[in-house]
Amino acid sequence: MTDSAAAKRRPGPVGRLLIGVALLGALLTLVVPLAAIFAFALREGLGVYFANILEPNTVHAIWLTGLTALVVLPINIGFGICAAWAVTRFRFPGRQVLITLIDIPFSVSPIVAGVAYLFLYGAQGLLGPALQGAGIQLMFTVFAIILVSLFVTAPFVARELIPLMQQQGSEDEEAALSLGANGWQMFRYVTLPNIRWALVYGAVLCNARVMGEFGAVSVVSGAIRGRTNTLPLQISLLFNDFNIAGAFAAASTLALLAVVTLVLKSALEASGWR
Amino acid sequence: MASRRRDKHLLPGFGLTLGVTMTYLGIIVLLPILAMLLKTGALGWEQFWRIATAPRTLAAYRITFGSAAIATLFNGAFGLLLAWVLVRYEFPGRRLLDALVDLPFALPTAVAGLTLVTLFSANGWYGQLLEPLGLAVNYTQAGIVVAMTFTSIPFVVRTVQPVLEDLEGDLEEAAWTLGASRLQVFTRVIWPTILPAFITGCVLSFARSLGEFGAVVFIAGNLPGLTEIVSLLIYIRLDEYNYPAAAALASILLGVAFLTLLATNLLQGWQLRYVERRK
């Protein structure tokens, strides 16, 4: 959030009290938990920490999480651009309904998303028997993890682009067309530069969610060690094995991702497009 | 808006982008939801009602809604305070605080759950302070509230903050000059303006808490009737291969999600009208 016209002032006595309470609250609810992750991960020294991270199942979980993000991110960026273009550049019946539909995954509990996929592709699901007949197993494989991740993070890029493109209007693009640009040139040289920061912003948030998704993935993955265990599931498995140091080592990689996400987010917001 | 009157096919890509959007939404979002609703529909009303009103189900709903309400109450107050302080005052660490508010969105819920359960364990940083007072958080409903609170901190801050920033200073100054007290300025000028945003933030926060799973399962202990939330009950029913119950419970949660989506849409409309009227 950028600084606004609303004048910020030096706090008086009441202000100082409010700031003190807010900072104390933030310390207890945000700073301490974040610091605790790294403190617990490194408690037994760097050697143990790296041994925990390099444990084969954890390495595999990191790889699987990265792979999922690598597939999901480009698809949902593509979807976000298409959806934003369709609903901000054209008026058509049902447009408002479509905007609401895009938001559905945001309000649905991740567990519900997982259950929904189970009842579509699982053995007892709508398409399950047909898939089984064709010898295709989707549930409890990497494909299922990718599919629910696509569901859960579908709106992230779109919802950053829609308000921005709405506000920008289509004058620039119309000018490019009237100057003889074709559709691709218009998109590449006019639209894309206009939306690039919002696009990066949405992608950063989308990536954080893909890599951290737990509920939906835990329903459809089967959580098979060394095969369909993503990083959040691996953390849960290690915790249930009472391997707290291992769990925190795995968690620290995701916490680092969260810190990077916050830094990128602040940097993008400070760049002033929002 | 001028674009409303323009020929809608002036710009290229209408068919392509709308086609891609609808196909993708259909396959990735709507088809699975439809499959789940069909499964629930196949149950018949009587069986659905039996599942929905079973004592264990009702207990899970009571715990989930109750905990979410307490978490939302806390986050309403804390979020309002954070938004106020961030917008109104200049102080060292303000930018850092602003960035840190989003931590619960950036941090995976499993990591949050793992960290909270460790902090509140008997010998954890927080647990060892609370235990002598007889306050147990882990494996009690308090743990559920803590987990839900952490994961939904940013909602109220991020909905109220922009409205507070846009609040015109002259309005407040006018109230000052007319002799309003500090409290009057807040209750008569500021509060009515931020109220729609505040309620929207609370609804979003409540909805998120209802659906929260990752953070809660680590800290709740998951005792049926005591610390079992709806999402977890669904998960357990799946584990027991009791698919009808899982479908029914998930459909109810989906219904609640649609209601909150509807509520936030209506609230945003209210907020927009409010802003227009003031201009």
On the question of pLDDT at A133 being above 70, the answer is: yes
pLDDT of residue A224: 72
Residue type, A130: A
pLDDT of residue A214: 94
Residue in B88, B210, B218 nearest the CB of A239 = B218
DSSP for residue B167: S
pLDDT of residue A2: 41
B233 → chain A, closest CA residue: A111
The answer to whether the CB atoms of B110 and A23 lie below 8 A apart is: no
pLDDT of residue B101: 95
Express each pLDDT in A205-229 by its tens digit: 999 999 999 999 999 987 677 788 9
If you count them, how many residues does chain B have? 279
Distance from CA of A161 to the nearest CA of B (A): 14
CA atoms within 13 A on the CB side of A21: 14
pLDDT of residue B212: 93
pLDDT of residue A186: 94
- For B12-49, b/e burial (b = at least 16 CB within 10 A) is bbbeebbebbbebbeebbebbbebbbebbeebeeeebe
Q: What is the distance between the alpha carbons of residues A57 and A52, in angstroms, rounded to a whole number? A: 10
Q: What is the distance between the alpha carbons of residues B232 and A238, in angstroms, rounded to a whole number? A: 19
Residue in A14, A37, A107 nearest the CB of B207 = A107
Listed by number, the residues of chain B in 137-176 with a beta carbon closer than 8 Å to a beta carbon of chain A are 149-150, 153, 161-162, 164-167, 169
Express each pLDDT in B156-187 by its tens digit: 999 999 989 888 777 788 888 888 888 888 88
| Burial of residue A211, with CB atoms counted within 10 A of its CB: 0-12 exposed, 13-18 middle, 19 or more buried | buried
On the question of pLDDT at A5 being above 60, the answer is: no
Measured between beta carbons, the chain A residues lying within 8 angstroms of B84 are 18
Listed by number, the residues of chain A in 51-110 with a beta carbon closer than 8 Å to a beta carbon of chain B are 78-79, 81-83, 85-87, 89-92, 98, 100-105, 107-110
The answer to whether the CB atoms of A258 and B101 lie below 8 A apart is: no
Express each pLDDT in A142-194 by its tens digit: 999 999 999 999 999 999 999 999 989 899 999 999 999 999 999 999 999 99
Asked whether B101 and B87 are in contact (CB, 8 A), the reply is: no
Using alpha carbons, list the distances in angstroms from residue A113 to A116, A243, B28. Answer: 5, 29, 10
What is the domain partition of chain B in residue ranges?
A: 54-278
Q: For testing the chain B interface, which of A9, A58, A90, A229 should be mutated: the one with the most B CBs within 10 Å? A: A90
Counting as low any pLDDT under 70, the low residues of chain B are 1-9, 274-279
Asked whether B172 and B254 are in contact (CB, 8 A), the reply is: no
According to CATH, the topology of domain A45-110+139-270 is MetI-like fold (1.10.3720)
Using alpha carbons, list the distances in angstroms from residue A131 to A112, A116, A121, A122, A139. Answer: 22, 16, 8, 9, 10
- Residue, of B21 and A138, whose pLDDT is higher: B21
pLDDT of residue B8: 47
ipTM above 0.85, yes or no: yes
Please indicate if any CB of chain B lies within 8 Å of the CB of A222. no
> Which residues have C-beta within 8 Å of that of residue A32, sequence separation ≥ 6?
B119, B125
Q: For testing the chain B interface, which of A2, A109, A186 should be mutated: the one with the most B CBs within 10 Å? A: A109
CATH no. of B54-278: 1.10.3720.10
Residue in A170, A187, A258 nearest the CB of B103 = A258
Task: Calculate Rg over the CA atoms of chain B.
Answer: 23
The answer to whether the CB atoms of A115 and B16 lie below 8 A apart is: no
Q: Average pLDDT in the A50-66 region?
A: 95
The answer to whether the CB atoms of B17 and A83 lie below 8 A apart is: yes
Tokens of B218: 């680590």
Measured between beta carbons, the chain A residues lying within 8 angstroms of B267 are none
Measured between beta carbons, the chain A residues lying within 8 angstroms of B12 are 177, 183, 186
Average pLDDT of chain A? 91
